[in-house]
Chain A
Amino acid sequence: MSGGEGTIVQFDNVGLRYGTEREVLSDVSFTLYPGSFYFLTGASGAGKTSLLRLLYLAQRPSRGVIRMFGTDVITVPRQALPAFRRRIGVVFQDFRLVPHLSAFDNVALPLRVSGVPESEIRKPVADMLDWVGLEQRHDARPATLSGGEQQRVAIARAVIARPEILVADEPTGNVDPDLALKLLRLFEALNRLGTTVVVATHDVHLLKKVPDSLIMRLDRGRLSDPTGALRYPPRREVAGS
């Protein structure tokens, strides 16, 4: 895979193993295009979370090349990684909210980390919490929130800084179907604003809810391309031309 013009993420023959175990990801190659919407599917243990960890720079691969925003992120010094991470929003499967911070402060965290003045934080964070239906729970600690509420806080935190890439690991796993649909609509809205969205899910019904989405399927650490998402140019562009 060469080039990189017009791409936001490129994986080239990426492999990942933990310790001396067998590879959990093997020869993974794909390209993500700006403004696209991707579903990453696969059975439990297929390597979805591992792939996402590589995408949100929580892990370096054992081999291969990963380019993000035009830069080889494998070889950049670790001091340079925060600048890349601030361009990526992440919804973790286990939410990973900071337990002693309120819902408001959890959502405000990416803005504070990015150095946004306090006077410019209050309103967007409050609006975002209202928007995900947590208008009454601004001051609630994660432990007092239900699973669905925690998930909504996690999603609000992931999107508050309007990332260029949004990576979501099973973001609708703990919410009812109505809320799952609303959250998908939020991701779509973000996608329309230019954010590249990658949603890992094993819920096949969800895939049909976003008609313009592309699907990547992981099977025992290897990527398959059922919709031509990984082709160059991707299927959608061929279809549109």
Chain B
Amino acid sequence: MNAAPSPIRRNIPRFAGSDRPGIMPQSRLAGPMPWVIGIMMALTVIAAGAGLALRNLAENARAEIAGGLTVQILEGGPAERARQAEVAVAVLSNREDVAEVRRVPDTEVEALLEPWLGEQDVPEEDAIAVPALIDVRLAGPVTPRRLDELRAALAAPAPSARVDAQAGWLAPVFDAIRSLQWLALGLVGLLAATTAAAVWLAARSALGSNRETVEIIHLLGGTDGQIARIFQRSIGLDAALGGFAGLALGLATILLLGRQFARLGSGMVAGGSFGAFDWAVLAAMPLLGIVLAMLTARLTVLSALRRML
């Protein structure tokens, strides 16, 4: 220690935002954050998956019945019912705005009603009168005006005909699905808010336990942004660890549930299956979680630092 302090350098570059890792102690998996974020992410993925499945289910069902009409011939006498059904089919088939007409066979109708009415193994005149059904598909969507036009067209040739849009039958189902979709969206929002709150708490706690180090960095010329970056990077790593683990757990649950629903063999449930977009949305969840966690950590730390000199 005889010479002048030669290692002391001149012209040190001005601050360029360095934020070396390791300035704050890290506790990684030992801390609760990756676990909390992982559980939140799994629940978020499941809720989002449910929302997407419901949306797909509703959209597929809606597309399927968009131009659909059902004509019922509500006539007690079997012969008259058959006659009016034939006339109705003929009238409908001749219309340009009708794309497809299909008389639902009586056997098919009976099979549909069998769970409620039992087997109608009696002479036709003794059997419970069941309406004749005609499945109609319009070219284009069903509108109230078109519905009225068809009713008017059938009024004279088939006075017992009742025309209903298929969407009308399923309106309560769609309403219920829409409610469930909102519920799923609400759950995703609540889980995101809970994650942000957990990150806020964790950032405050980390800031408190590292207050001395933060103060030293401040006094050495560290900026708020630089200190915030240290915390946001740490929380970001926690969020990445927890987020991808949560995604894996959530996807496994969705696949398992999907298999069980697929076994039901219901056409409507099959309409809820995922496309590439849905998988992409679910895969993006951890990334959104990381962004949310880092942003929350940054804002929390910056707001706390603003109260220091």
List the interface of chain A (C-beta within 8 A of B): 56-60, 78-79, 81-83, 85-86, 90, 96, 98-101, 105, 109-118, 120, 123-128, 131-133, 157, 159-162, 182, 185-186, 189-190, 192-193
Contacts and interface: CB of A to CB of B under 8 A. Distances in A.
B254 interface: no
Given A57-B309, A98-B23, A101-B22, A116 B220 contact: no
B94 interface: no
Given A57-B309, A81-B309, A96-B216, 19 more contacts: A56-B219, A59-B309, A90-B220, A96-B212, A98-B216, A112-B18, A113-B15, A113-B217, A113-B221, A113-B226, A115-B14, A115-B16, A116-B12, A126-B7, A160-B8, A161-B9, A162-B9, A192-B4, A193-B5
B5 A86 contact: no
Nearest to B305: A78
Contacts of A128: 5, 7-8
B221 A86 contact: yes
Contact of B15 (A115, A159, A182, A192): A115
Contacts of A86: 14-15, 220-221
Contacts of B10: 162
A123 B9 CA distance: 11
A120 B7 CA distance: 11
Nearest to A129: B7
A93 B212 CA distance: 14
Nearest to A162: B8
Interface of B: 1, 4-10, 12-18, 20, 22-23, 25, 212-213, 215-224, 226, 306, 309
A94 B14 CA distance: 28
Contacts of A59: 309
Secondary structure dominating the interface of B = loop
B301 to A, nearest CB: 15
Contact of A85 (B4, B23, B220): B220
Contacts of B15: 82-83, 86, 113-115
Contacts of B20: 112, 118
A132 B1 contact: yes
A110 B223 CA distance: 12
Contact of B1 (A109, A133, A162): A133
Nearest to A120: B9
B5 A78 contact: no
B284 to A, nearest CB: 33
Interface centre among B4, B5, B6, B14 (most CB of A within 10 A): B5
Contact of B8 (A83, A99, A124): A124
Contacts of A126: 7
Contacts of B221: 82-83, 85-86, 110, 113-114
B17 A131 contact: no
A125 B9 CA distance: 10
A160 B8 CA distance: 5
